[in-house]
């Protein structure tokens, strides 16, 4: 089955700096890669996703890159703000709701 | 507000108790999911229902029993749980099998 590894497990950055979270996956059939943000006391919320026919996708301060050859994808947050502090999860799926595999999460702390 | 609600938000139960978790979605979605979230582990998919029919059961112990009476409601019945079952239980829904999953806030379960 699919195995998703996520690094780092914790990340502290100064407000205004950039943050990068990296994930690798094992199943070459995976073609959908969502990223979720989970704030304290809430469930995960989708913030951006990318499909395998695209190498990069950007939404304001958030971007995701995908390298299918190397089987890794990354989340980039620029100009970080305190409200970006949360746990971020990557995931990979070959399609079909029962086959989404999540990473272990990265706790991001943005220091004002 | 994600449109997915879960009750109760917190639950403490003994190993011999029977309790139920409730999830309700107001989004008109066709698929609903139960996940288990434990510290330092990836989200674990437990059950998937599509149009009220269970389509996935990821080798979950029989002490967890799901029920989906209609497309808006999902229950997780608990009995004779173990302390290692203590975790955050998340419900999610999606419009289609490969669509974005919307998560509820979760039920924090503690088994004594």
Residue A13 CA: distances (Å) to CA of A75, A79, A80, B91, B95: 15, 10, 8, 31, 36
pLDDT in tens, B46-93: 998 887 777 766 689 999 999 999 989 999 999 999 999 999 999 999
| Of the partner residues A32, A43, A100, the one whose CB lies closest to the CB of residue B103 | A43
Count of pairs with CB atoms under 8 A, one residue in A, one in B: 58
Q: Which has the higher per-residue pLDDT, B104 or B15?
A: B104
A51 pLDDT above the threshold of 80: yes
What is the C-alpha to C-alpha distance for residues B64 and B75, in angstroms, rounded to an integer?
A: 10
pLDDT band at B13 (very low <50, low <70, confident <90, very high): very high
| Of the partner residues A34, A41, A103, the one whose CB lies closest to the CB of residue B105 | A41
| Of the partner residues A41, A45, A100, the one whose CB lies closest to the CB of residue B2 | A45
- Residue B83 sits at φ, ψ, to 5 deg, of -55, -35
pLDDT band at A98 (very low <50, low <70, confident <90, very high): low
Tokens of A32: 């959908």
pLDDT band at B15 (very low <50, low <70, confident <90, very high): confident
Among B101, B105, B107, B108, most A C-beta atoms within 10 A, so best to mutate, is B101
**Subunit contact A43:B97, Cβ cutoff 8 A:** no
Decide if B21 touches A, using CB distance below 8 A.
no
pLDDT of A35: 96
pLDDT in tens, A17-45: 999 999 999 999 999 999 999 999 899 99
**Subunit contact A42:B31, Cβ cutoff 8 A:** no
Chain A residues inside the 8 Å CB shell of B45: 98, 100
């Amino acid at each position: 089955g699919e195995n998703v590894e996520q690094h780092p497990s914790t990340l502290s950055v100064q407000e205004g700096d950039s943050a990068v979270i990296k994930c690798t996956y094992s199943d070459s059939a995976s073609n959908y890669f969502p990223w979720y943000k989970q704030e304290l006391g809430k469930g995960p919320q989708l913030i951006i996703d990318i499909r395998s026919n695209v190498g990069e996708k950007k939404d304001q301060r958030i971007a995701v890159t995908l390298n299918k050859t190397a089987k890794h994808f990354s989340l980039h947050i620029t100009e970080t703000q305190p409200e970006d502090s949360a746990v971020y999860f990557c995931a990979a799926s070959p399609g079909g709701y029962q086959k989404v595999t999540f990473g272990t999460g990265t706790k991001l702390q943005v220091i004002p | 507000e994600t449109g997915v609600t879960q009750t109760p938000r917190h639950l403490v139960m003994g190993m011999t108790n029977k309790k139920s978790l409730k999830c309700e979605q107001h989004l008109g979605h066709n698929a609903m999911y139960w996940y288990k979230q434990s510290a330092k582990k990836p989200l674990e998919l437990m059950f998937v229902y599509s149009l009220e029919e269970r389509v996935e059961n990821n080798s979950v112990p029989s002490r967890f029993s799901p029920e989906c009476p209609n497309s808006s409601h999902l229950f997780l019945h608990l009995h004779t749980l173990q302390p290692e079952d203590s975790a955050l239980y998340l419900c999610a829904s999606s419009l289609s099998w490969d669509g974005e999953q919307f998560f509820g806030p979760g039920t924090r379960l503690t088994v004594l």
